[in-house]
Each structure stands twice: as structure tokens, then as C-alpha cells.
Amino acid sequence: MRGWFLPVAVLLGFIFLYAPIISLVVFSFNDSRLVTVWGGFSTRWYGALMNDRQIIGAAWVSLKVAFFSATLATIIGTLGAFVLTRFSRFTGRLLLTGMITAPLVMPEVITGLSLLLLFISMELSLGWPAGRGMTTVIIAHTTFCAAFVAVIAQSRLRSMDESLEEAARDLGAGPVRVFFDVTLPVITPALVSGWLLAFTLSLDDLVIASFVTGPGASTLPMVIFSKVRLGVSPDVNALATIIIGFVFVAVLAAGWLMRKQMSKGL
């Protein structure tokens, strides 16, 4: 019983999870125009992709958005987590504790819609942001990515030996100095994995971006989605394969960093 059950169950689980992705990767090398009919191996769709200005442009927008929103989210999320773990009493602490994770559970449609309304009313009353475009997408992605980073940073700060910070204080460093000399270097691996997670989340997002973007700032998922609505074309498979590659590497790197830190037992 034990001999075969476990391997078979694991295999079925893997098939369930990854068969769709594998078939997509396989069909991205399909020579045929028809997506579901195998016509021999070819990389022609990858070539076609490289010449598709719309897709290359959207990919560039997505990467820029992901880079900036992940970076902003890491800064904001880390500060939030630091305040929550190291300052025991301040006004609004309870509210912040509860609200910092709210974007994680909020339906994307609601986040997107509410941000859109906010941007419009800000434009009317403050004159900024002027119209919608890359800036509004970056702001929108930063809000929900910051929540993810905050959760990761918070758990790292909690598990960190607080006497490290006390030791630095004791040796003559002021509070700001302690943060940059000790706290930040110690939690950096967690922040890197938080940044990678934020980056992939931003890269993946379709719903929120659709609400808050404007002309000329379509992200990659938006372009793919609009292409697929007109029928699945093989070059989308090729594109999806490349994205899977990116995400796979990022997730692997994040996991490796986390594990490395765990094994150090810091």
C-alpha cells in the first residue's frame, strides 16, 4: 500500500497543477497556425513575438511598473512592519494592524474601482495625477504590494533577536543608526524575497491595471487578454512561456533566499 500510493498521489497532484502549463509551453513551440493541432517543432512564434511592437511595448511598460511599484512597496511595507513590531504604543496602532493586511483580502475589482474613483477626484480637486497612465498603475500596484511586503517583513522582524538592536544601542549607536547598521542588513534577505514577490504580483495583475491605466500605458496582461478575446493565437503561447520562465526564476530565487536565511537560524 505504502509503496505505490504516495508516489502516485504526488504524481497526480503534479499533473493537476502543472499539466496546463506544460501543454502551453509545448504548444508555444508548435509550427501550426492552429493552436490545438501539432504541426511540428518550431520557434517561429518567438520570432513573431520579437517583431510585435505592441507586445514588446506592453512588456516594457509592465517591467517598468513592476520594478517601481515593487521598490516603493518594499520601502513602505518595511517601514509599516517596523513601526508595528518595534513601537509598542502609538495612536492608531490597532487600526494599522488591522488595515495593513486589508488589501490582501480585498477583491481586486473593488480595489481597482476605488482607486480609479480616487484618482479621478484627485485630478479634479488637486490637478494630480493628470490623466491616467503609468503613474497611476504604479501607485495602485504599490498599495497592494506594500501589504504583502509588510506581512513578510513583519514576520522577519518578529523572529529577529531584539537584543541585536539593543546591543548596537548599548555600543553607542542612535536609533536611526541601529536601523541602518543592524536591522536592515539582518532582514535584507526577507526584503529581497518580498521585493521579488511584489514584482511578480505587479507583473501578473490584470484587473487593477485595467481600471487605473490610461491610453498608451497598457500592461502585458492587458494586451494578452485583449488578443485572446479575438481568438487564441500561438504567439500568445510563446509570450506566456517566457513569462512563466520569469516567474519561475523569481519564485525560486525568493524561496532559496528564505531557506538560506532559515538555515542560518538568524
Residues near other proteins (CB under 8 A) are: 161, 163-164, 166-174, 177, 181-182, 185-186, 264, 266
In a 3-state reduction of DSSP, which class is residue 71? Answer: helix
The residue among 50 and 170 lying less far from other proteins, judged by its C-beta, is 170
- Minimum gap (Å) between residue 162 Cβ and other proteins: 9
Take residue 29 and report the three cell numbers written for it: 513551440
Question: 102-130: string of b/e by CB count within 10 Å (b at 16+)?
Answer: ebeeeebeebbeebbeebeeeeeeeeebe
Nearest approach, Cβ of residue 172 and other proteins (Å): 4
For residues 238 and 173, give the distance between their C-alpha atoms in angstroms, rounded to a whole number: 54
Tell the smallest beta-carbon distance from residue 200 to other proteins (Å): 27
Joined together, the cell numbers standing for residue 73 give: 512597496
| Cα dihedral 40, 46, 48, 49 sign | positive
Supply the minimum distance, in Å, between the C-beta of residue 189 and other proteins.
Answer: 10
CB of 154 to other proteins, least distance (A): 20
Q: Which three cell numbers stand for residue 71?
A: 521598490
Q: Which triple of cell numbers denotes residue 82?
A: 517596523
Residue (64 or 169) nearer to other proteins, CB: 169
Nearer to other proteins, 22 or 170 (CB): 170
Q: Indicate if the alpha-carbon torsion angle 12, 18, 24, 26 is positive or negative.
A: negative
Q: Which is nearer to other proteins, 33 or 177 (CB)?
A: 177
- Compare residues 32 and 159 and give the one whose CB is closer to other proteins: 159
